[in-house]
């Protein structure tokens, strides 16, 4: 069960032209499709605000996420620091 954590690669960075990888925090909610209500299946585009680790400048990038049919993507945002906020 080694599911790699979600992340986004920015290359080139609009600030420093470098190559960055940001971990992502994705909030999902399950879809209760009892009555076959097809709730926004397919890819969804999110705009992420990332911070360049070299210059400290923020920039926007776009990411398209395709959720599985049983899930809905509520939000996607970069998770800049791997804080130890959960054990």
Chain positions contacting Zn ion, by CB under 5 A? 13, 15-16, 18, 52, 54
Q: Which is nearer to Zn ion, 25 or 54 (CB)?
A: 54
Closest distance to Zn ion from the beta carbon of 80 (Å):
13
Q: Which is nearer to Zn ion, 10 or 76 (CB)?
A: 10
Closest distance to Zn ion from the beta carbon of 14 (Å):
8
Q: Which is nearer to Zn ion, 27 or 54 (CB)?
A: 54
Q: How many Cβ atoms sit within 10 Å of the Cβ of residue 57?
A: 12
- Could you give the CA distance from residue 48 to residue 62 in angstroms, rounded to a whole number? 6
- Could you give the CA distance from residue 36 to residue 61 in angstroms, rounded to a whole number? 33
């Amino acid at each position: 069960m080694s599911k790699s954590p979600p992340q986004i690669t920015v290359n080139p960075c609009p600030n420093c032209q470098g190559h960055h990888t940001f971990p992502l925090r994705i909030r999902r909610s399950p879809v209760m499709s009892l009555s076959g209500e097809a709730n926004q299946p397919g890819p969804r585009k999110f705009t992420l605000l990332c911070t360049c680790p070299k210059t400290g400048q923020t920039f926007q990038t776009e990411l398209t996420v395709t959720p599985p049919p049983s899930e809905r993507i509520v939000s996607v945002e970069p998770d800049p620091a791997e804080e130890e906020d959960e054990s």
